[in-house]
Structures are given as structure tokens and as C-alpha cells.
Amino acid sequence: MSFKRHLIISTAVRIFLIYYGEVQDSLSDVQYTDVDYRVVTDAANHVLSLGSPFKRHTFRYTPLLAYLVLPNLLIHPSFGKFIFSLFDILIGVLIKWILLNCYRSNKISIETKLLKLETLNNRNKYLIKRKNEILNSNNEALPPKYIRMAELSAYCWLYNPLTMIIATRGNGDCVSCSLVLLSIYFFLKNDQTNMQHFIAGLFLGLSIHYRLYPVGFCLAFYLATLDKPPATWIDYLGAVLKPNAKQIALVTGTVVALFTTTALFYWLYGYQFLYESMLYHLVRKDTRHNFSLYFYLQYLSSTFEVTILEKLLTFLPQLVLILMLTVRYGQHRQTLAFGLFAISFVMVTYNPVVTSQYFVWFLSLLPLCVKNFKNIGIRKAVFIPVMWFISQGGWLLPAYLLEFKGWNTFEFIWIQSIVFFFSNVLILQMLISNYDIAYNYKID
């Protein structure tokens, strides 16, 4: 079956889920539609009335999201779900494009090195001609197995039930994931021009404006543009103080996109926009039950002021891990995708607030790394997702009893949050230990 047919099928499944959600919403107390979808729609209603989207209490996103769902009020209440599903499908397409590009780039690099060696020993005209063809071509044909691997990786996203449900419930995080993948796509293109790095920076800046979490990717992107990986801390300092042309283009694109969007909405909505969409997330204290290891602590201390020490102890572990992962995997273009996946995985796992919608941050990057886990084995490949979903299910049961039955299950939720946290830590350890860069491309 062709990739286009898979796109059609996965689109049809999402359309079915949207209509199924409307039926469930009308018949069940457990609503299929995300609560935030209604919040964003209400914010769009304020925009339509030429007001501020932040007049809607608990709207803490970029105004772009409210603009995006304006058709909810003009065409159909579920129109925004179709928009988010479209971005969800785009992620699958981008995964295939990025992997094909990576395979092609590595294939050209390897063949070029081999032909250089052969040409040195044999001044055969065919070898010299072939070498020049490779050096001047960015569209070198790939063996079918690599095209198939890129498509299978895309299917890991397109047929993932969790990501399908999150998008069709009306969650817009797939938009930020699409922007991150677009930045990766342009960053890893074979041309390696300053313009492509500038465009990659534009998408990275937009993704940071849309959701703050991609700011954790900036250093990895920056280091991956170095001509050679830094070996000492002096080299890292030199990379900051003496940036090359590609780094300047990347940073310029990021700053332009981020500053332009932020300045525009600050001019329109003032300090309230800045606080609600950005600053609030830095001081957020969510006392409602969520997957975070810290949720019960925040619930018990909800009447107390958050101290600087508490914030430091909360964010320091993930900051240290992000820095370590950036240095380990972010300084090579070949390992950048896995580095970004590991960074986002840590950000979600150690975050003071964790909800299901955050999972798409790293699930959208995981398919880019599937090709590097060929040595993981069937047992581990089955064990990892089973453990992840079971640990989630163990949390969802007491959470359901609390929210819909009114039972006091806070302690059970907290225990399951601990189980979920350590499950994520174990999963990341297994993925890191089984990651093999050699499978980026092997010459046949």
C-alpha cells in the first residue's frame, strides 16, 4: 500500500474520531472534547468581537491559537479539530521527508569518502565522473529499504492512537510540533546554506512563541552548526563568542520570528499577553491532579507562597540533564534528532505540571530515531510501550474516581505519579543505551 493511501486512511480515522467525539459529548458525562478547546473557542469569540482573547479566564496561550480556531464560530464548532488533525497529518509527512533527507545526506557523504579513496588509487575516468556527480547532487536515489524505513517511521505517528485522540479532542500542541519538525527539516537539508539556516531559525522562533518548550532546543541547534564538534570548554566558549555564518543566520531567524510575534501581540494586548502566555508558565502552580511527580507537593502547599529554593529544586534536575544531553547529542547533525527527543522527554518527565497533551512533544520526535534502535530486540520493543501505557492506566483509574466519583484518591494518584516518573526514567535509560548512530545509513 502506498504512502498516500496510508495518509488517506489515517485522515479518515481522525475524521471518524471527531464525529465520534460529538456523539460521546452529547451522551456521556465523560467528555471527549478537551476542556481547553472550549476555552480557546471562547477566546476566539472575544477576538471576533474585537476584544482581547485574554478576557477568557484560563486562556494562557498565544493569541495565534485563538485566531486559528475562529472558523469554530463562523463555520462549525468542530472546525478547529479538523485544523489540528491536518497539522497532525503534516507531522507524519515531515517525519518521512526528514528521514529521507538524512538518509540521502549520509549516503552522499559515505559514497563521497569511498570514491575519494578509490580515485586516489585508480585514476579511472568513470570513478572521477561518479565522484563529481555525487558531490553535485542532493537528490541521490536511495535503496527501497531506506524509503520503506522512512515510511514505517511516519506510520508510528500516523497510527498512534494516543496522538490521534489528543488532536481530535481539540488540542493544538500538534501545531508547535509541526513548527519544530519544520525547523529540523530545513536545518538538516543537504544544501547547508545560510538561507536555509535562517528559515530553520524562523520556524524555531515561531515554535517558541507558540509553546515555550522548544527554547530548550536552541543550544542543540546552535552547536550542531559548528564546522567541527567542540572538544573542550574553551571550544564551547569560542563557539559562543565567535559564531560562524550559519550560526548567525540561525540565531537571526529565531530572534526575528520570536521578537516580531511577541512585539506584535504585546502592542495589541499589552502586559497581560506577556504574563498569561509566557511568564505565567514559569511560575505556574497547578494544584489539580496531573502526571507530575510534584503535583501532590503543590496540592498540599497550595496556600503557601512558592519560594525561590522550591523553584530551584524543581527545575534544577531537568536543567542539568538538558545541558548534559545537549552536549552529548546536540553537537552532531547526525544525532540532533535523538538529542531533541531526549531533551523533550526529560522536560516532560521532570516538569512540575504534566498532562497527556505534553506527550506529543517527544512522541513527534521519536519516529525520527526509530531507525537507530534496530538492536533493541523484540522483548524490549514490546516492553517499553506496554510499561508506559500501563503506568499511565494505573494513574488514570484513581484520577477518574477522584474527578467523576468524588472519592479521595489523592494519595493513590501521587503513588502512581511516582511509578510513572520512574517508568519514564527507565524507558529513557533503555533508549539511550540502545541508541546506535551506525544505522543512520549503511552502504549496500
pLDDT number for residue 409: 83
Banded pLDDT at 110 (limits 50, 70, 90) = low
Report DSSP letters for 184-210, one per residue: HHHHT-TT--HHHHHHHHHHHHHHHHH
Residue type, 233: W
- Which residue did the predictor score with more confidence, 410 or 115? 410
Question: Model pTM?
Answer: 0.89
Least confident among 223-227, 310-314, 408-412:
310-314
Of 177, 185, 182, 3, which is closest to residue 11 (Cα–Cα)? Answer: 3
Residue 69 CA to residue 63 CA, distance in Å, equals 10
Residue 373 CA to residue 440 CA, distance in Å, equals 10
**40-94 residue pLDDT tens:** 999 999 999 988 999 998 888 999 999 999 999 999 999 999 999 999 999 999 9
Q: Indicate whether 125 pLDDT > 60.
A: no
Rounded to an integer, the average pLDDT of 265-275 is 91
Residue 203 CA to residue 183 CA, distance in Å, equals 5
Rounded to an integer, the average pLDDT of 156-171 is 93
C-alpha cell at 63: 493569541
Sign of the dihedral through C-alpha 376, 378, 383, 386 = positive
**321-367 residue pLDDT tens:** 999 999 889 888 888 999 999 999 999 999 888 888 899 999 999 99
Cα angle vertex 207, ends 334, 150, to 5°?
40
Cβ(82)–Cβ(169) below 8 Å: no
pLDDT number for residue 88: 96
- Residue 137 backbone zone (phi > 0: left; psi -120 to 50: alpha; other: beta): beta
Residue 63 CA to residue 398 CA, distance in Å, equals 35
**Alpha helices, DSSP H, located in 242-277:** 245-269, 271-274
Q: Indicate whether 420 pLDDT > 70.
A: yes
Cβ(172)–Cβ(84) below 8 Å: yes
Q: Where are the domains of the chain?
A: 284-443
pLDDT number for residue 116: 53
Q: How far is CA 148 from the centre of its chain?
A: 23
List Cβ<8 Å contacts ≥24 apart for 187-192. 187/221, 187/224, 187/250, 187/336, 188/98, 188/101, 188/102, 188/105, 188/333, 188/336, 189/101, 189/138, 190/101, 190/104, 190/105, 190/108, 190/138, 191/138, 192/246
- Binning the chain into helix, strand and coil, the percentages to the nearest 5 are 75, 0, 25
| Mean pLDDT (the chain, rounded) | 85
C-alpha cell at 279: 511568564
Where do we find the cell 471527531? 18
Cβ(127)–Cβ(104) below 8 Å: no
- Which residue did the predictor score with more confidence, 147 or 18? 18
C-alpha cell at 370: 526509530
Q: Indicate whether 134 pLDDT > 60.
A: no
- Which residue did the predictor score with more confidence, 112 or 264? 264
pLDDT number for residue 322: 94
Rounded to an integer, the average pLDDT of 89-113 is 79
Q: Indicate whether 369 pLDDT > 60.
A: yes
Q: Indicate whether 170 pLDDT > 70.
A: yes
pLDDT number for residue 130: 47
**279-329 residue pLDDT tens:** 887 776 666 668 888 888 877 877 777 677 777 778 889 999 999 999 889
Where do we find the cell 552536549? 327
User: DSSP class of residue 20?
Assistant: H
Residue 305 CA to residue 71 CA, distance in Å, equals 41
C-alpha cell at 163: 496522538
